[in-house]
Amino acid sequence: MKRILSIQSHVVFGCAGNSAAVFPMRRLGMEVWPVNTVQFSNHTQYQAGWQGMAMPAGHIRALGEGLANIEVLGQCDAVLSGYLGSSEQGDEILAVVAAVKGANPQAIYFCDPVMGHPEKGCIVAPGVTDFLTHKALAVADMLAPNLLELETLCESHIDSLAQARAAAHRLLAKGVRLVLVKHLGRAASQPGRFEMLLCTPDGDHLIHRPLYDFPRQPVGVGDLISALMLANLLAGHEAVSAFERTNAAVDAVLLHSWQADAYELQLIAVQAAFADPEIRVRAESLG
C-alpha cells in the first residue's frame, strides 16, 4: 500500500482541495494522510461567501514533527500540496517534504501550484505565487499547473500548444520530472474541447475530453486531476497510462455532475470510475 501526505485546503460542504482529493485517492487504494491549510464552510466562489480560516502559523510544521515523532515519515511515498492559506505555510510544507525525503529518499513531491484566479473568485494570499515560483519549483518532482500558472512559472505568455510544450520543457530543464498542464485553455490545439498536456523527458502527450455546458463551472476539478494522476502513478501505472486513466475518471465525474445539474462534483456517485475508469480517449504522442 502506498501512502500520501496531502496538504491543501478543506471545505466542509462540497468538493475542493482535500475534499476533492482524499476520497478518490483512497478509492484507488492509497492510504491518505490529510493536512488542511485552510478550513472553509464551502469554496470561495459561492456568491453568498464563505466562513472559516487559514490554519495558524506553525500548524503544518507541528503536524509534521508529530508524524516524525511516531516514526512514520519513512512510510510516506509522496507529498501532495495544493491551495495554501499563506506563504508561510509554503515554507512549512517544504520543511515537511525535506523530512519525508530524509526518512524515505524515494518519496516524491507532487506540487499543484494553485495561484488563484481572481476573475473566478479564487484568491490566494499575498506571497503565495512568489513562494511557488521561487521556492516550490526548485524542490518539486512533479508539477500540475494550469495554463495561467504555467505562464507565471515560466514568466511567458502562452497562446499555442507549441509554446505550452516549450514552457513545460523549461520546467523539466530545472529538474522537474513530470509536468501535467491541467487545462490548456486558449493554447489548446482544437477549440471546443478540454485538453491536457503531459510532458516528461520521454516525450509529450496530449489528451482531451468534452467541454460540458455548465451554468456555473464546478470547482475542484484541478484538485481532482492532480490527486488522480498522483494516485495512478503510485498504483504502478506508467505516466501515459496514468494520464489516460485520470482523464477518463475526471470525464466520468464531470459528465455525471452535468447530467445531474449539480454545481458540486459528484464524486460518490461515480466512485467506481476512479479504480476502474472506462478509457475512451487515448493520449496522442507529440514526440
Could you give the C-alpha distances from 205 to 182, 217, 240, 245, 257, in angstroms and in order?
A: 12, 26, 7, 14, 27
Q: What does the angle CA 111 – CA 258 – CA 264 come to, to the nearest 5 degrees?
A: 50
Binding residues for substrate are: 9, 44-45, 223
Strand partners, 208: 195
What is the amino acid identity at position 201?
Answer: P
Q: E strands, 94-242, where?
A: 108-111, 142-143, 178-181, 193-200, 203-210
Pairing relationship of beta strands 142-143 and 78-81 according to DSSP bridges: unpaired
Residue 76 is classified by DSSP as -
Cβ proximity of 151 and 167 under 8 Å: yes
- 140's grid cell: 518539486
Cβ proximity of 104 and 136 under 8 Å: no
Q: Give the helix/strand (H/E) hosting 253.
A: helix 239-259
Binding residues for ATP are: 112, 144, 149, 182
Residues 6+ apart with CB under 8 A from 72: none
Residue 17 is classified by DSSP as B
Cβ proximity of 114 and 82 under 8 Å: yes
Binding residues are: 9, 44-45, 112, 144, 149, 182, 223
